Amino acid sequence: MLLKKMIQNSNRRRPLFFLPSIMRKYFSTSSQAAVDLASKDGEMRIFLVAGEVSGDAIGSRLIAALKNLSPYPIHVAGVGGPMMAKQGLKSLFPMEDIAVMGIWELLPHLKKLQVRLKETVEAAISFRPHAVVTIDSKGFSFRLLKQLKARCCQQGHNAPLHFHYVAPSFWAWKGGEERLNGLSEFVDHVLCILPFEAEVCISHGVPATFVGHPVLEDIQELNLVQVTTEKGWKAQRNADLFRSEYGISSGSTIFTLLPGSRLQEVTRMLPIYSKTINLLKDSVKDPTAVIHVAPNQHVENYIKKAVNEWSVPVVLVPGGSSHTKYDAFSASTAALCTSGTAALELHLARLPCVVAYRAHLLTEWVIRYKAKIPYISLPNILLNSPVIPEALFRECTPTRLASLLMQLLSPPPARAGRSDFDCKDSSFDNSTNIEAAAPPACDPTDPNCVITPSRKKPRIVEGSNEDSYAERIKSQTAADDTPEIVVVGH
């Protein structure tokens, strides 16, 4: 239902095609006639800033769309990640330097953020862009746009057009809509990814256009199979291909784990996920953890080091490959997800998942006090219903997550009246009708309950899509005594 609704709301148009038309509208009415400046300069200069992995994906598609639609060559500069780099952007500095969120978490990074903000302002002014596009990351983006507007006014220059892609989540916070009132002072147009946002922005004097959610771009570009199930539409890819390429047996239980895209998220969530899988490994058949690694060098380094201590086989899926991501979703049994765009992707793939989130105690307190909606994951917010179980803040513990995952793995009759997961071996597969687990041997919250860890150590395999997994396995020595980490797509 959610997928169908989103596609209908976007009128099946490619969202990124809206920006060039909006820019033409502003160029044609601007007192400086920016389109004439672009014609005179012989190029269209766009300064872009993305501070998140999701923003990097949006920015890369935006650059590609502008190149196809602009009557003039596109010249880009600014801040972005590897996907924007493929479209020709040379980032001023690593995008990870501004990928910080929270309150207490922000304090250690304030000095660096101030330095990066100053560098970005100076670079934007020197670049003399016809338009500036900031993508999400409103804390950094709005400070940048305010300073650019002020500098242009001081120097008597006409400011470039300011676009902000992804509206701030005003709908989630008390007093959020009122904060839109001053936005038009430094933002010329907001590009909204949720259908109800544009109307609210316009009502507060902020020009806005609903351009559709980026997830729909994945579905269109990947030609994902949209099948109808008893639960509605489903975005599906090749589960068998993923299993066969990476040596995962058809009867194994695959847990997809998405710990986040920022280092501060991953360092907080991955240890919780590790303990969760450790609690579950003796209750499911042949468990395998598939960890989706954001294209962030700090995150990659941390995860590769951390999983050496895991007690189950681990497959690392590098970010940036939507094909592999949706193949993994289709092959998986259930997922753990740090709240974000990934929750929506998992819901559209109909992969049962639990959304988990922890932050610093101060940040959690502020969220509890300021939030005006009962959910944190986007599917629950859009449908105004807890379609995805959430374990937030103090409730986000390994025991709680394991319990929720086992409830997802068991059919409703087996779940009734059961509050915790099983400590005894039982078999599960990725079929529609999953066999119920055996009655719990003990309650893991009971200090007298001892869960014996598995003695079987996985193997390490550095693989790629082109390598033969079986051949790599055979080349390993003492295979049964070394951990297994499969690095996918390298």
Would you list the DSSP string of 392-439? EGGG--HHHHHHHHHHHHS-HHHHTT--S---S-----SSSSPPPPPP
State the pLDDT confidence band at 232, using cuts at 50, 70 and 90: low
CATH code where residue 334 lies: 3.40.50.2000
The encoded tokens of residue 394 equal: 């103090």
30 and 148 both lie in a single domain: yes
**Bridge-partner residues for 131, per DSSP?**
46, 161
Q: Is 488 a residue whose pLDDT tops 60?
A: no
272 or 31, higher pLDDT = 272
Q: Is 213 a residue whose pLDDT tops 70?
A: yes
Domain-located, residue 2? no
Domain-located, residue 319? yes
pLDDT tens-digit profile of 3-55?
455 544 544 444 444 555 555 555 444 434 566 777 777 888 999 999 888 89
Please state, in angstroms and rounded to a whole number, the distance separating the CA atoms of residues 314 and 255. Answer: 10
Q: Which residues contact 71 (CB under 8 A, 6 or more apart)?
A: none
Domain-located, residue 99? yes
pLDDT tens-digit profile of 464-482?
343 443 344 344 434 444 3
Q: Is 247 a residue whose pLDDT tops 60?
A: yes
The confidence score (pLDDT) of residue 27 equals 44
pLDDT tens-digit profile of 249-269?
888 999 999 999 888 899 999
Q: Taking residues 401-424, report their average pLDDT.
A: 63
pLDDT tens-digit profile of 339-359?
778 898 998 888 999 999 998
pLDDT tens-digit profile of 298-352?
899 999 999 998 989 999 998 777 888 999 999 999 999 997 788 989 988 889 9
Q: Is 231 a residue whose pLDDT tops 70?
A: no
Q: Is 452 a residue whose pLDDT tops 80?
A: no
206 and 226 both lie in a single domain: no
55 and 131 both lie in a single domain: yes
> Closest by alpha carbon to 140, among 159, 126, 120, 160?
120
pLDDT tens-digit profile of 104-162?
666 777 888 999 999 999 999 999 999 999 999 888 999 999 999 999 888 777 788 99
**Bridge-partner residues for 304, per DSSP?**
none
Q: Where in the sequence is the domain holding 75, given as residue range(s)?
A: 9-214
Please state, in angstroms and rounded to a whole number, the distance separating the CA atoms of residues 152 and 147. Answer: 9
CA distance to 4, 77, 104, 189, 218, per residue, from 164 (Å): 27, 16, 26, 7, 21
259 and 208 both lie in a single domain: no
230 and 209 both lie in a single domain: no
106 and 209 both lie in a single domain: yes
CATH code where residue 188 lies: 3.40.50.11930
CA angle 288, 292, 297 (to 5 degrees): 130
Q: Is 440 a residue whose pLDDT tops 50?
A: no
Q: Is 228 a residue whose pLDDT tops 60?
A: no
State the pLDDT confidence band at 404, using cuts at 50, 70 and 90: very high
Q: Taking residues 403-415, report their average pLDDT.
A: 75
199 and 346 both lie in a single domain: no
Domain end: 176, 195, 214, which one? 214
Please give the single-letter amino acid code of residue 109. H
Starting at the edge strand that comes first in sequence, how are the strands of the sheet with 208-210 ordered? 74-79, 44-50, 131-135, 161-165, 189-192, 208-210
CA distance to 181, 190, 201, 270, per residue, from 178 (Å): 6, 16, 10, 36
190 and 276 both lie in a single domain: no
The confidence score (pLDDT) of residue 117 equals 95
405 or 309, higher pLDDT = 405
Please give the single-letter amino acid code of residue 1. M
The confidence score (pLDDT) of residue 102 equals 63
86 or 415, higher pLDDT = 86
The confidence score (pLDDT) of residue 391 equals 94
Domain end: 157, 184, 214, which one? 214
138 and 273 both lie in a single domain: no
Domain-located, residue 353? yes
The encoded tokens of residue 192 equal: 């909204």
190 and 253 both lie in a single domain: no
Return the H-helix or E-strand segment holding 292.
Answer: strand 287-293
State the pLDDT confidence band at 365, using cuts at 50, 70 and 90: confident
Lowest-confidence region among 153-162, 228-237, 379-388, 454-463? 454-463
Domain-located, residue 3? no
Domain-located, residue 208? yes
Domain-located, residue 137? yes
156 and 109 both lie in a single domain: yes
- Quote the number of domains for the chain: 2
Domain end: 187, 214, 241, which one? 214
The confidence score (pLDDT) of residue 104 equals 64
Contact 423/441 with Cβ under 8 angstroms?
A: yes
410 and 467 both lie in a single domain: yes
Domain-located, residue 4? no
Q: Which residues contact 233 (CB under 8 A, 6 or more apart)?
A: 1, 3, 4, 226, 227, 348
Q: Dihedral sign, CA of 101, 357, 389, 276?
A: positive
Q: Is 175 a residue whose pLDDT tops 80?
A: yes
Contact 206/180 with Cβ under 8 angstroms?
A: yes
The confidence score (pLDDT) of residue 351 equals 93
